[in-house]
Chains A and B, each alone.
Chain A
């Protein structure tokens, strides 16, 4: 959707002829829609940027949002929507800043009049719609990447692998485990075993509300993989409902050690290592 050469020319004339008035009016409309969440000066600057970009595009030929000469305009629109998305504005609040231009144009076209008024307004409107959609698209893209970043951060935060004792590491799992997260946990745990040269790992699932077949499979695979590497896993913190689910689903935990609590699991490992007996004996002797 592009404006014809004449339409572009008339739009540029309209906008640049009374630029002070256009930006002021535009800023007014946007300010009222945002209810004071951005300062007047800030909005004015944004509107001026857009105004300048449209006029600059028109000076370089016909105005077509997808053409090469509109690169500056597209950049201005993207920058606006990126900023708004980061500041937590809604999609409506963002696109309305563009659609506000329509109101301004309507007033201007009405005043100027002429035989082409209606025709021009429809063409200008289409351009503004297109700009609005473009803004909306980049708004959504920014939000999506924000969400992806946050999900990744959450994943990092929610799967700590901690060293409990010399040769013993633990992963306290908290929250729902989906396949992606289970995989991250698995890889991280195994890598920590190598890095710390720990032959024991405790997987604590006290904070996991539910276990389905897939999650149970992931835990089992982790245990088997750890064994292949020469380390033993103990699963602790299995709550009654989860024990029931495990049995009901027919999942075989086989000879994998399971303990009621993290403390029990640690005690079990230490006993295997002979640590506890070594600590008790001197006390008995004394």
Chain B
């Protein structure tokens, strides 16, 4: 069975789906990714689907599940590179991909994760009274 490679870039795991996945491959990816998040302690996951010419309900569900699982493991998931025809088809199919953050490309996805991470850091600093007084 073919496997989808998972790359670690800094604090982000990048999954670039390059093949027409069978359902089994999709399930395998879902499991492998959860393991890698825990192993690496990454806070962001980018799933690049630029190469996918269709997303059906099975793959849609896999994306949702990955997003939920990584949320539990304290990682933000961003799905990037969805093609216009795929998006139009998903809308018609009635699949809304609830709870999944999306971005146009990998670069924008990384910005999104960085911004989410920065928000979190800000929030922690605001909580800390010492940090507050330390500011000019």
Question: A residues bordering B, Cβ < 8 Å?
Answer: 186-187, 190-191, 193-194, 197-199, 221, 224-231
Tell me whether A193 and B88 are in contact in the complex, defined as CB-CB below 8 angstroms, given that A228-B82, A228-B97 are known contacts: no
Would you mind naming 26 contact pairs between A and B with Cβ atoms under 8 Å apart?
Answer: A187-B84, A187-B85, A194-B84, A197-B104, A197-B105, A197-B108, A198-B104, A199-B103, A199-B104, A199-B108, A221-B91, A225-B87, A225-B91, A228-B87, A228-B90, A228-B97, A228-B102, A229-B82, A229-B83, A229-B87, A230-B79, A230-B80, A230-B101, A230-B102, A230-B103, A230-B109
CA distance A226 to B90 in the complex (A): 11
Which residues on B sit within 8 Å (CB–CB) of A227?
A: 102
| Chain B residues whose CB sits within 8 angstroms of the CB of A231 once the complex forms | 104
A94 to B68, CA, bound (A): 70
A53 to B48, CA, bound (A): 65
Give the secondary structure class of A's interface: helix
Contacts of B102 in A (CB 8 A): 227-230
Q: Which residue in chain A gives the minimum CB-CB distance to B107? A: A197
Query: Closest chain A residue to B90 by CB distance?
Result: A228
Whether the pair B84, A229 counts as a contact (CB closer than 8 A) is: yes
B96 at the interface (CB under 8 A from A): yes
How many Å lie between the Cα of A197 and that of B108 in the bound state? 8
For B, the interface residue count at a CB cutoff of 8 angstroms equals: 22
Contacts of A225 in B (CB 8 A): 84, 87-88, 90-91
Tell me how many residue pairs across A and B have CB atoms closer than 8 Å: 57
- A143 CB to closest chain B CB (Å) equals 34
Cβ contacts under 8 Å, A199 to chain B: 103-104, 108
A197-B107, A224-B96, A225-B87 known; 13 new pairs, CB 8 Å cut-off, are A187-B84, A187-B85, A194-B84, A194-B105, A197-B105, A221-B88, A225-B90, A226-B87, A229-B82, A229-B83, A229-B102, A230-B78, A231-B104
Known: A228-B97, A229-B82, A230-B82. A186 touches B104 (CB 8 A): no
Out of A191, A194, A228, A230, name the residue touching B91 (CB < 8 Å): A228
Question: Nearest chain-B residue to A227 (Cβ)?
Answer: B102
A35 to B102, CA, bound (A): 67
Chain B residues with Cβ under 8 A from A190's Cβ?
84, 87-88
List chain A residues, Cβ under 8 A from B105: 194, 197
A197 to B107, CA, bound (A): 10
Using CB atoms, name the residue of chain B closest to A231: B104
Q: Which residue of B lies closest to A186 (CB)?
A: B88
